[in-house]
Structures are given as structure tokens and as C-alpha cells.
Amino acid sequence: MASIRKELAQYGVTPRKRWGQHFLVDRNILGKVIRAAELQKDDVVLEVGAGSGEMTVALAREVKKVVAVEIDRKLVRLLKEKTEVFANITVIEGDVLEMDFHQLGDEVTQRLKVVANLPYQISTPLLFRFIESRDRFSSLTLMLQREVAERMIAPPGGKDYGPLSIFIQSVSDLSIPFYIKPSAFFPPPKVESAVVHLVWKKRPLVRPEEEGWFKKVVKGCFGYRRKRLVNALRHADFPLPEDIEQRIEKIGIEPGRRPGTLTIQEFARLADALRS
């Protein structure tokens, strides 16, 4: 703990709440995260929120190349100086939410593995960006807020089940290898974290060309999750056929069910049935 405080102070870095800066300082946990990522020597890893570079250096010793992204200019300076002896580390200063994952440099042509300690504030929108660009990645190993991780794996019928659960489970197989106590970070966050390991399904439950419509239907249903399914859809802000109820019944779904009870397979059938 003393070393990370000293190092950050040397570069004038004060952990910023705005960027969700919580630095992993437990080396045992760091090792467990790297093992969970199932890395190979010829892998290229994208690290988001590289921070003080402890994970960056550990990854560089395991894989062919590490692309480390950091938004904080002072930390970028720390990272570049700390990793200058590693020929296989590239440090990029920038906002990952605005990054084109297909343009990370001419030398990065293979699919990437993501290993990251995600800032809590951007974890959900970044997950959706990873899904949209999933042809660029082979796996994701992410440290994020326990609440978000449990929403990702939530089954139908529970309070955590929603659009995030459905979109991620429709395209990937995921697990939570372990949880992390706040004391493993500096400064410690107010909540527990979780490590999520995710790989894409070989056969996603929804065809890529139909994903846009599928997402629209799911979001429309969960916009009114306490209403009956048919009524939730009638309140959605996109055009639907007039015979909604008949179409729902035709695919074997009771129109009076609550949206949160439908399985992902049922949502896929529903979206297909409602296509005009």
C-alpha cells in the first residue's frame, strides 16, 4: 500500500472519483486475474484503465503484446516510464468509450483478449461496446462491480434479470471465477468487485443481422417490466403490428406474463413474431 501511494504521489496523481480510479494493490488477486484470463504466449491483450501499470507489466511477461489504454495524462506518463524497458507494451492515452477497436495499430491484426479493471462508471456502456465489436475480441476477463456482474449472469424471474443479462447471455458464455474484497484496492471502493470471464458463443441465439430489432423489443418490454407483456409492448416507443396479442399467443407465450419471466429463447421468438 505504501509503495502505490508513493508512486502516485511522485507523479502528482490523486485517485479521481470521476474516473472511478481504484488501483489493484493485492498481488495475489492480480495473479488470480491473469490465471482466469487463460492467456497463451502468442496472445495480444487489450488492458483498459491500465492505471499504475502493475497489471500491464505482469501481462507483458505472459503474452506477445499488451495494448494499455489510460485516460489520465499523469498516469500515462507513469505508464510509459515504467514500461519503457518492455518492447511488447504499447501505451495509448484516450477514452476507451470513444475508441475504434478496429484501429489499434497496423501490428495488432489478431483478435484480442481483454483483461481490465473497469471503472465502475463506464462498465455497462463499455460492455455493450465490447459486444458490438466482438469480432475484434476472443475473450473478456473483467474486474467490475459485483452488482453488475450478477446482473450479467442473472436468470429469468429475478430482480437482476434485464436487458444487460439478455444481451450478454445471448452472445456469450460467462462465469464469475471469484469475488474481490474492497481492501484489495487503493483507495478501497464501497462495494465488492467480481471477476467475470466471458467467451463468445459459436452459435449466438440471435443472428447478427437481427440483433438491432431484438434489442429494441427487449428494451421496449423492460421499459414497463411491471406490466403484462402485451401492455408493455403497446407502450413501447416504436411501431408494432396491431395484432400483437394474437402473434404472442401463436408462438406459445402467454400475453399476460411479466417481461422478466421470459427466457432469452422466448424473447428471440417474440422479436421474430413481431417483425412487420
Domains in the chain: ranges and CATH? 2-200 (3.40.50.150), 208-273 (1.10.8.100)
Look up cell 501505451; give the residue. 91
Residue 105: pLDDT over 70: no
Q: How confident is the model at residue 108 (pLDDT cuts 50, 70, 90)?
A: low
Q: Residue 113, SS3?
A: strand
Do 117 and 29 form a contact (C-beta atoms < 8 A)?
no
- Amino acid (1-letter code) at residue 222: F
Mean pLDDT of 168-184: 97
Average pLDDT over all residues of the chain: 92
Task: Report d(CA 89, CA 190) in Å as an integer.
Answer: 32
Strands (E), 120-229: 137-145, 172-180, 185-186, 193-200
Please answer whether residues 66 and 89 qualify as being in contact, where contact means their C-beta atoms are separated by less than 8 angstroms. Answer: yes
| 76: enclosing H helix or E strand | helix 73-82
In contact, 127 and 151? CB cutoff 8 Å: no
Q: Which of 100-104, 107-111, 139-143, 150-154 has the lowest mean pLDDT?
A: 107-111
**pLDDT tens digits, residue range 53-63?**
999 999 999 99
Please tell me the pTM assigned to this model.
Answer: 0.90
pLDDT at 16: 77
- Predicted confidence at residue 2, as pLDDT, reads 47
Q: Which pLDDT belongs to residue 144? A: 94
Q: Give the span between the Cα atoms of 191 and 76, in whole angstroms.
A: 27
187-220: per-residue pLDDT in tens? 899 999 999 999 999 999 999 899 999 999 999 9
pLDDT the model gives residue 202:
92
Going by pLDDT thresholds of 50, 70 and 90, the confidence category of residue 1 is: very low
